[in-house]
Amino acid sequence: MPTSDDRLEQAQRERDQLRLRLTQVGDLRPGSLLERHCRCGKPACHCAREGDPGHGPYWYLTREVGGKTVSHLIPASAAELTTQQVAEYQRFRELSRQFVEASERLCELKLSALDRKFCDVFVNRSDGLTLGAVHRSCGAGR
């Protein structure tokens, strides 16, 4: 059985590792990179022919800003780089989610280490009243 000190140390290590990984995050940007082809509408242009893929590809980085979809044209030469930056953003999101979870775990462990009598379980009655705290091991308040 790991002691509560072991658990605290373990949680601290996990939090510290995630914090370190967060400092090593590279260039990132939110959005989705979409490949588009388009037709210019000139009847003499090759894009007017059937089966022609049209002009492009053009790369657009789209994202939601305040409920609206905003698109940025990305030069074809930067499409690969932008793909990496978008993937890095996803990695950052996942890392920060894990970091918050690990931090929360650590805070809880620190709290119970602070005062072993601190009651960490609350009983909620169906009428919405909190009966009071029940300590897991000593049963105080029961």
Render 123-138 in DSSP notation, one character per residue: EEPTTS-EEEEE-TTT
Q: Which residues contact 101 (CB under 8 A, 6 or more apart)?
A: none
Q: Which x/- pattern, by CB under 5 A, does the window 72-111 give for Zn ion?
A: ----------------------------------------
| Structural element, H or E, at residue 32 | strand 32-38
The nearest distance, CB 47 to Zn ion, in angstroms, is 3
Q: Compare residues 73 and 123 and give the one whose CB is closer to Zn ion.
A: 73
Residues numbered 33-72 forming contacts with Zn ion, rule: CB under 5 A: 40, 45, 47
DSSP 51: T
The nearest distance, CB 53 to Zn ion, in angstroms, is 11
The nearest distance, CB 40 to Zn ion, in angstroms, is 3
- 8 Å CB contact between 59 and 82: yes
The nearest distance, CB 36 to Zn ion, in angstroms, is 14
Q: Compare residues 41 and 128 and give the one whose CB is closer to Zn ion.
A: 41
Residue 127 has which token pair? 């009428």
Residue 96 has which token pair? 């920060």
Binding site for Zn ion (CB under 5 A): 40, 45, 47
